[in-house]
Copies of this chain bind each other. A is one copy, B any other.
Amino acid sequence: MSGSVYGNIFTISTWGESHGKGIGVGIDGCPAGLKIDESYIQTFLNRRKPGASKYSTPRKEDDLVEILSGVFDGKTTGTPISLIVYNKSQRSNDYSEIASCYRPGHADYTFDQKYGFRDYRGGGRSSGRETIGRVAAGAIANAILAELGITFTCYTKSIGPICIDYDKFDKETILNNPLYMPDSEAAQRAEEFLQQQMEQMDSVGGIIECKISGVPVGLGEPVFDKLDANLAKAVFSIGGVKGFELGSGFEASKMFGSENNDSFYADDSGKIHKKTNHAGGVLGGISDGDDIIFRVAFKPTPSIFKTQDTINNNNENIKVNIKGRHDPIIVPRAVVVVEAMAAISLVDLLFINMTSSMNKIRDFYL
């Protein structure tokens, strides 16, 4: 119940504020013998690094990760892994004037009400920089899953009204455009759209889609720790998320059972498949062996440069003009955060599933 700790067996705890000494994460419950080094984790952090494109904050940070514990001779030891990224570019002065002001769409008001005061520098703990810890831990979760053949395809599905066309889906394209879209034409139009909104001093939202392949049948615990329920929490804990859906999602509410049910069939080799995947790879909260597919809706970045009405901490009505460095959209840099949280929540279920039957336990110990 302590808010910054996530997981039961594979446990992560993030710490750090936007303008403190650094951001970090502790990972406990990582098995021994996993090959890990800083350069591998860095490849994940680089996907959320600021300043990578004109659509992300120009804040200059290399966000270089350092392993402080839990790795010996290039392998995890089974003991806690501590990772840190020091904050470099802090420019607190940008924020001094909003210390007393509650920015619309931000957590300034709720933090002050809950705690009595807050670290107002750059959003403090509620800053997007907190996700650095999640991504670093997610890289390790991803490494565990990769060894078992579980892989992620995570990308921007839409930005504002501009959505990808599945006929033009190209996995390679994802990492080759600043918006992480799998459709280069949609990416082009989205860039133009973003450019216009930036000129309007406004921001936009979007949708991230994630596909997880190679998941064995059986992950997920009935009834509360269902695979999809844990995914929903993991993903909804990311700032700016307003919606989560699995498989046919909200569309399922308009479908008939005869449409939405996925028929099972055995192929010639006797292998089991589903003719369709409206389930999104989860039946009764347990993975069915098919791809897990989910979508996440993000709201527009609350930090916009237009003048806004709000109040200050004396409850006086005021106008606020936000300065500083802000992304016009959260989505592209959030793609790797969504992937990270999904990986982290899957590892717990992968581990717990090992104890689901006496046959498995006997085979392990005898």
Interface contact B264-A311, CB-CB below 8 Å: yes
Size of A's binding interface in residues, CB under 8 A: 168
Q: Which residues of B contact A229 (CB under 8 A)?
A: 232-234, 236-237
In angstroms, how far is the closest chain B Cβ from the Cβ of A154?
A: 16
Q: Which residues of B contact A222 (CB under 8 A)?
A: 3-4, 79, 107, 111, 125-126
Q: Are the C-beta atoms of A300 and B3 separated by less than 8 Å?
A: no
Q: A230-B233, A253-B206 are in contact. Are A284 and B126 (CB under 8 A)?
A: yes
Interface of A is mostly: mixed
Task: Check if B107 sits within 8 Å of A284, measured CB to CB.
Answer: yes
**CB proximity to B under 8 Å, residues A6-40:** 6-11, 13-17, 20-22, 24, 26, 28-29, 31-34
Q: Contact: A232 with B257, CB < 8 Å? A: no
Complex Cα spacing A202 to B261, Å:
11
Q: Could you tell me the distance between the alpha carbons of A237 and B244 in the complex, rounded to whole angstroms? A: 13
CB atoms of A110 and B356 under 8 A apart:
no
> Which residues does chain B contribute within 8 Å of A166, judged by CB atoms?
none
User: Is A356 within 8 A of B78, CB to CB?
Assistant: yes
Contacts A77-B118, A114-B217, A250-B243; A5 near B204 (Cβ below 8 A): no
Write out the residue numbers on chain B whose beta carbons fall within 8 Å of the beta carbon of A105: 257, 260-262, 279, 283
Q: Verify B310–A33 contact, CB threshold 8 A.
A: no
Chain B residues in 8 Å Cβ range of A144: 358, 361
A348 adjacent to B1 (CB under 8 Å): yes
On whether the beta carbons of B161 and A254 are closer than 8 Å, the reply is: yes
A255 to B197, CA, bound (A): 11
Known: A82-B15, A242-B252, A257-B301. A2 touches B6 (CB 8 A): no
In Å, the complex CA distance between A356 and B2 comes to: 11
Q: A80-B4, A242-B252 are in contact. Are A284 and B106 (CB under 8 A)?
A: yes
Of A216, A248, A260, chain B has the most CB atoms within 10 Å of the CB of A260
Q: Which residues of B contact A124 (CB under 8 A)?
A: 72, 77, 79
Q: How far is the CB of A8 from chain B (nearest CB, A)?
A: 4
A160 within 8 A of B: yes
List of B residues within 8 angstroms of A63 by Cβ: none
Q: Which of B7, B149, B299, B317 has a CB less than 8 Å from the CB of A255?
A: B299
- Interface flag for A351 (CB, 8 Å): yes
Nearest-neighbour CB distance to chain B for A350, whole angstroms, equals 8
With contacts A8-B8, A79-B222, A298-B253 known, is A31 near B263, CB below 8 A?
Answer: no
Determine the residue in chain B with the shortest Cβ distance to A21: B68
A122: min CB distance to chain B, Å: 12
Segment among A42-50, A172-180, A184-192, A265-273 that sits at the interface with chain B: A265-273
The answer to whether A104 touches B263, judged by C-beta atoms less than 8 angstroms apart, is: yes
Is A359's CB within 8 Å of the partner chain B? Answer: yes
Which 10 residue pairs spanning A and B have beta carbons closest together? A107-B284, A3-B221, A1-B8, A203-B257, A243-B245, A233-B233, A110-B286, A32-B115, A15-B80, A257-B300
Known: A102-B264, A204-B256. 14 other contacts (CB 8 A): A1-B29, A1-B348, A5-B5, A9-B352, A13-B28, A17-B69, A33-B358, A243-B243, A243-B245, A243-B249, A250-B297, A258-B304, A258-B308, A263-B308
CB-defined A-B contacts under 8 Å, sample of 10: A13-B28, A33-B117, A79-B222, A107-B285, A110-B220, A116-B357, A216-B365, A229-B233, A257-B303, A266-B316
